[in-house]
Amino acid sequence: MQLITPLLFAILATAVASAQIAVNGPIEGFLFDAPTGTVRAVMGVPGSATLGPSLLDGIDFGSVAPRQSYAITFQAGQCQIVSNLNSPPGSTTIVSGVSGQPEGTVWSADGTLAILYSRSGNWIQTLTGLPGSPAAGSYLDISSLGGMLSAVVSDPQGKRIAIAVSGAAGGVYLTSDSQSFVPVFQSPNVIALSFSADGTNLYALDAAAPQLAVVDLNTFGSQSLPLDGLSNPLAIGADQDAQGRQVVYVASGSDQLLRIIDVASQQVVTDIALNVAPAGVGVLGLHSFVIASRSTGSQPLWLFSSSPLPAAYFVPAVQVVAGVQ
């Protein structure tokens, strides 16, 4: 893991800020930077990456497709698909029929489906045909399932959606038509979901136990893997590692820890100590994930990369062009 002292951070930030950084060279991925209301590139590779200049400004909410160069943005209540982020200014398509600005968005791994959602509003809405032919699906009120939306996820191809509902009758539900939800796992405390990289398993994080439920989507049988030693598991992500194993990443907030679990052997591969409390496991590049986004302009971005070796890295919050931090 890359450790950083306050003095070293100040030296690096000053050094990078003193140079003009052009939007060229290798790009690890694109993301919505909430403190500045912009879409920006993460330039370089984890360990030596920097935040690029703004590509889109004045955004109220945004979400970039995983490992792609297009994004969903909301400006003044209007939903748009912005393509060709790697060739600014790109192209913009307005999407009609979107019910309202979401609190979050999840994507299918292939980037063809996005699910807009609101936990407080208890609703989801799909956008299909991305990026070229976007179409808004029906607004779905989750309250009919008897609880509050706590998690939502798409399978890799955007064919199946799983949601978790909290409450006394809560559990995990699966749909293939975005209309009828079938229960596949019962628990009132599921707070995060992820499909396996090959789409054969659905993982559900039960924060109360704590444990990781693995639902086989061929048989709909399930098994539970204990998360011993984790006091605050709050997010999960799935990937196929360099050895070809189906693995799950479990982020534990107050523990400042990222655990890697080999699903087949049900063994912990390793626990990675972090210099920050992780908030999620969001896909960025081919083998990289955002584990802590920026909430203020002075904060760095924190990434995890699984290749060539699992490690966590910071991306400094530096001024790469005038007026952008």
Cα 238 from chain centroid (whole Å): 11
Q: Each residue of 233-254: pLDDT tens digit?
A: 999 999 998 888 999 999 999 9
- The answer to whether 136 touches 96, Cβ cutoff 8 Å, is yes
What pLDDT does residue 6 have? 40
Which three-class secondary structure state does DSSP give residue 23?
coil
Higher-confidence residue of 174 and 177: namely 174
**Tell me, what DSSP letter sits at residue 177?**
S
Mean pLDDT to the nearest integer, 198-203? 96
Structure confidence by residue, pLDDT tens digits, 277-305: 999 999 999 999 999 999 999 999 999 99
Instruction: State mean pLDDT over 179-183.
Output: 87
3-state secondary structure of 38: strand
Res 15: pLDDT = 33
pLDDT of residue 178: 67
Condensed to tens digits (0 to 9), the pLDDT of residues 38-97 reads 999 999 999 999 999 999 999 999 999 999 999 999 999 999 999 999 987 779 999 999
Chain-centroid distance, C-alpha 67: 11
Whole-number average pLDDT of the chain: 89
Q: What percent of the chain has pLDDT over 90?
A: 82
pLDDT above 70: percentage of residues in the chain: 90
- Domains of the chain, with CATH numbers? 98-188 (2.40.10)
pLDDT of 16 reads: 34
Confidence label for 141 from pLDDT (cuts 50, 70 and 90): very high
Residue scoring higher pLDDT (134 or 144): 134
Q: Which residue has 């390793």 as its token pair?
A: 270
Would you say the C-alpha torsion 283, 310, 204, 167 has a positive or negative sign? negative
Angle at 319 between CA 315 and CA 321, to 5 degrees: 125
